[in-house]
Amino acid sequence: MVDKRIYVVDLESVPTRYTCEWKDHIPNLLREEIKERNLNIEVINISGGESTIEATPGAFLNFQQTNIYKNNQLNNIAERFTSEVKPNDVFLFTDAWNTGILQLKYMSELLNIPIEISALWHAGSYDPQDFLGRLIRDKKWTYATERAIYHAVDYNWFATRFHSELFSNTLDVSGGKSHITGWPMDYMPAVLNKYKSVEKEDIIIFPHRIAPEKQPEIFRDLAKYFPEYEFVVCQDEKLSKEQYHKLLAKSKIMWSANLQETLGISPFEGAILGVVPLLPNRLSYTEMYGKKYLYPGVWTASFSNYEFYRENIIRMIKDTMEEYDVLRGNVENHLAPQLLKNFFNATNLVDNLLRNKNEYTK
């Protein structure tokens, strides 16, 4: 008889996203820690299907298929309540924007089986630059849903303080249920090590989604002023994950003019491979990066701002290319380890999931 079970409610597998790695990595990470700590806990993955899904263009997931996937997960969970789920079992939702959380809470309360829920917040309508924030006109129902999910969840996890504060300030929630943890991306250095021998080229890379909040039009315009460099928009190339990593390894600079970023995984991947990030001093970037990698946010607050400050940006890019060899060492040897330590490991989350009842006080 196990002391408790942890049910990992995963994200659907999109080949170009980190959801593929998370499907195995998170359950395995928990099992390794359970074994290391000699705990009597079982980890069970709740999948909504095994087929891979292509994301809606410009989005993180597929707006239609994600509902089929999450509904399959809910049916799986509901069936387990009849025989398997016991008091004090834990459910970890790797995407908090899952209305199945409300139905899980419904079953827990009405069947008198008290369980604990943790959930990782990625985005939502509370962010005006996110898809939900831009496309949903009447946000009364989305704000109400996000508040309900927040209050149904025992531990709401955010990767940065910027994201946590954006959520709480927009939705006006309180009650001590918000917590900070790095995202479980500690496997990335091992994944990318094999690309470190790739020879660098004069490539400036745009690794973001082609979406309004990423402002790709600024990057495309900049390319016209640098015929000596290659500017690459990754989503124009229809790259596999391996092809993307090879291109990243060849690149020298990563560019961002993002208006939305609550964490940002690609600058971390790039730092591991010696790619110098040039990021606006706003959003989560301000919290995560030193001044040498940040330019004034006003320079790209809009396309018209970019046009006004374009000469400053051109000079910054030229200076970065000229100083690349020195900057590369700082990025690989200092920035990447710092990001791994502070933002790309899930130590707080794992410690919380594996604690004894009432042990966790952070």
Q: Is the model's pLDDT at 246 over the cut of 80?
A: yes
In a domain, residue 243? The reply is yes
pLDDT higher at 135 or 34: 34
Provide the domain limits for residue 104.
4-184+345-354
- Which residues on neighbouring strands pair with residue 20, listed in sequence order? none
Residues 98 and 219 in one domain: no
SS3 53: coil
User: Could you tell me which residues come within 8 angstroms of residue 49 by beta carbon, excluding any fewer than 6 positions away?
Assistant: 12, 68, 69, 72
- pLDDT tens string 259-296: 999 999 999 999 999 999 999 999 999 999 999 999 99
Residues 271 and 243 in one domain: yes
In a domain, residue 362? The reply is no
Average pLDDT, the chain: 93
- pLDDT tens string 45-68: 999 987 666 655 544 566 788 899
Residues 236 and 138 in one domain: no
Q: What is the mean pLDDT of residues 109-120?
A: 97
Sign of CA dihedral 327, 333, 334, 337: positive
Residues 139 and 202 in one domain: no
**Contact assessment for residue 27 and residue 8, using Cβ atoms and an 8 Å cutoff:** yes
What's the pTM?
Answer: 0.93
**Contact assessment for residue 132 and residue 125, using Cβ atoms and an 8 Å cutoff:** yes
Count structural domains, the chain: 2
Using alpha carbons only, how large is the chain's radius of gyration in Å?
Answer: 21
- pLDDT over 90 percentage in the chain: 85
**Contact assessment for residue 136 and residue 176, using Cβ atoms and an 8 Å cutoff:** no
In a domain, residue 197? The reply is yes
Q: Is the model's pLDDT at 36 over the cut of 70?
A: yes
Q: Report d(CA 93, CA 97) in Å as an integer.
A: 9
Token pair, residue 195, equals 């690309």
For residue 173, the domain's CATH number is 3.40.50.2000
**Other beta carbons less than 10 A from residue 256's beta carbon:** 26
Rounded to a whole number of angstroms, the distance between the first and last alpha carbons of the chain is 29
Residues 214 and 164 in one domain: no
Token pair, residue 55, equals 């994301």
Q: Report d(CA 301, CA 128) in Å as an integer.
A: 14
Q: Whats the size of the chain, residue-wise?
A: 362
**Other beta carbons less than 10 A from residue 299's beta carbon:** 18
pLDDT higher at 243 or 131: 243
pLDDT computed for residue 15 by the predictor: 73
Residues 79 and 146 in one domain: yes
Per-residue confidence band for 1, with pLDDT thresholds at 50, 70 and 90: confident
